[in-house]
Amino acid sequence: MAIGQNFMWGGASSAFQVEGARDEDGRGLSLMDLRASSRNHKQMDTEVSVDQYHHLQEDIGLMKELGVQSYRFSISWSRVFPTGHTDKPNKKGIQYYHDLIDGLKKVGIKPVVTMFHFDFPKALYDEYAGWNSRRAIDDFVAYGKFLIDEYGKDVAHWLTVNEQGVIVLDSELLGIDPKQDKQVKFQKAYQANLYLWIAQAKLYKYCHEKYPESLIGPAISYITTIPYDGTSEDVAAAKELEDFYSFAQMEVAIKGTIPQYFTRQLLNIGINIEVTKEDSEVLKQGTANFLGLNWYCTTIVKHKPNYFEDEFIFNRIERKQKPTLRYTDWGWNDDPTGLYYGLRQVMDRYPDIPLMITECGWSEKEKLVDGKVHDDDRIRYLKGHVEALQNARKDGVNVFSFNVWSMFDLLSVGDGMEKRYGLIYVDRTDFDEKTLKRYPKDSYYWYQNFIREYQNKS
């Protein structure tokens, strides 16, 4: 694809982070709702969130004005199937996503749909402990097949699971008690990791058979990992961490085999994953035909003195900051060359696989002043990253879409409304729903102008 042709500039969100209407129209609860209610007061308020459910047409209108070509969102499994099982569909939930997809289509925006973005149905968790059981595979596959059958004629880009690497490390997302013994936690989490891989392989295969033209793959948390200094030990540590955390996920999706370096890493800490012959066959038979990459910043690592001991990679490194880079209040850097370098690395490994940036963004604590938000730091971040992406394309990287995280202010997974990512400000705080009115920030107008100029040039 030549530069400029059919490129999709867009924005992204996920269901529990924007929808609200937690208890409306028959929706069932998810594990994210429980996590939310375990926090203080209304921080992480999934009950209302930023209320996209009731602002749908207005929000689509704002995206149309912005001029984007894609909107990445996720479907809430428990809105469509409150019990998690496909034999009890929720008509209103199914209709909501038809309205969203149709609304986008009408204004020329392509839907990019995530099937599972952290929000596992509570009912299935109560029944059999969710991803901690093999039973989750069949339920996720049934749900995913339903989505492909129901929406597949209007959706050409499917993302199966969002950031499996994060799900496995944040055991709360798997419903595993974070206070449990580390060894038990890891054993469970990495076994669940296998079940997630198997379920996705089955869905890749199904989708290729049913819609051979469609693209389906995972949204990977890709953290380009950089050595702190020029020592071979730091270079090796950076490689090992990046391979274990990001590339192992890509390898399984694209090649259908679990890399030895991944298994060895787990064996080092006494974790042995049960993979049957049949599991290996399923992984081989169903592979992704594209990759979504959630890319925010680089991680800069320094090896610890025990580098060559048989220890988990996370314990053998320390994360460092570089004074030459800008950082958000949460310590995420602005390092666009890291994106360029990361994309080049992915191209080297998978030259034939199309890539989509499914998330990329800058967080701030922000206040509305006279109806405006002057988010210059976000503009600077975005400028740098779209430039890095275009440079990667000039070098032959087949990346065909860039989706800003996030289109609207939303509930940050770690920090609720305090940590804002949006191009569009939403008038609410952690503890006060306020008016929920939408206000385009300066970055919205910057992006609008950037997209227009890009289209005029191409």
DSSP 8-state symbol, 118? S
**Kind plus residue range of the DSSP H or E element containing 291:** strand 291-294
What tokens does 435 get? Answer: 């008016």
Active site residue 359: yes
Alpha-carbon dihedral sign for residues 201, 249, 222, 426:
positive
The contact mask relative to ligand BG6 for 86-125 (x = CB under 6 A, - = no) is: ----------------------------------------
In angstroms, the CA 258 to CA 247 distance is 10
Closest distance of CB 242 from ligand BG6, Å: 16
Closest distance of CB 331 from ligand BG6, Å: 11
Complex with ligand BG6: residue 282 or 339, whichever CB lies closer: 339
Interface with ligand BG6: number of residues (CB under 6 A): 14
* Single residue of 413, 417, 424, 451 touching ligand BG6 by CB under 6 A: 413
Q: Which residue is it, tokens 């749909």?
A: 113
Complex with ligand BG6: residue 118 or 228, whichever CB lies closer: 118
Of 233, 240, 251, 359, the catalytic one is: 359
What tokens does 247 get? Answer: 């590339």
For residues 150, 59, 453, 326, the Cα torsion angle rounded to the nearest 10 degrees is: -100
The contact mask relative to ligand BG6 for 1-30 (x = CB under 6 A, - = no) is: -------------x--x-------------
- Binders of ligand BG6 among residues 184 to 243 (CB under 6 A) are 221
* Single residue of 419, 420, 428, 441 touching ligand BG6 by CB under 6 A: 419
Residue 90 CB partners (closer than 8 Å, separation 6+): 25, 26, 27, 28, 79, 80, 81, 82
Q: Which of 322, 324, 382 is nearest to 357 (CA)?
A: 382
CB 155 within 8 A of CB 111: yes
Range in contact with ligand BG6 (rule: CB under 6 A) among 172-180, 209-217, 259-267, 410-418: 410-418
- DSSP string over 132-152: GSTHHHHHHHHHHHHHHHHHT
Contact flag: residue 294 with ligand BG6 (CB under 6 A): yes
In angstroms, the CA 374 to CA 377 distance is 9
Active site residue 209: no
What tokens does 112 get? Answer: 């990019």
Helix, strand counts (H, E) of the chain = 16, 13
CB 90 within 8 A of CB 27: yes
Contact flag: residue 424 with ligand BG6 (CB under 6 A): no
Range in contact with ligand BG6 (rule: CB under 6 A) among 19-27, 104-112, 316-324, 408-416: 408-416
Complex with ligand BG6: residue 233 or 366, whichever CB lies closer: 366
Contact flag: residue 171 with ligand BG6 (CB under 6 A): no
The contact mask relative to ligand BG6 for 359-388 (x = CB under 6 A, - = no) is: x---x-------------------------
Closest distance of CB 395 from ligand BG6, Å: 27
CA distances from 204 to 90, 197, 223, 407 (A): 25, 10, 24, 27
Which residues bind to ligand BG6, rule: CB under 6 A?
14, 17, 162-163, 166, 221, 294, 359, 363, 405, 412-414, 419
Residues involved in catalysis: 163, 359
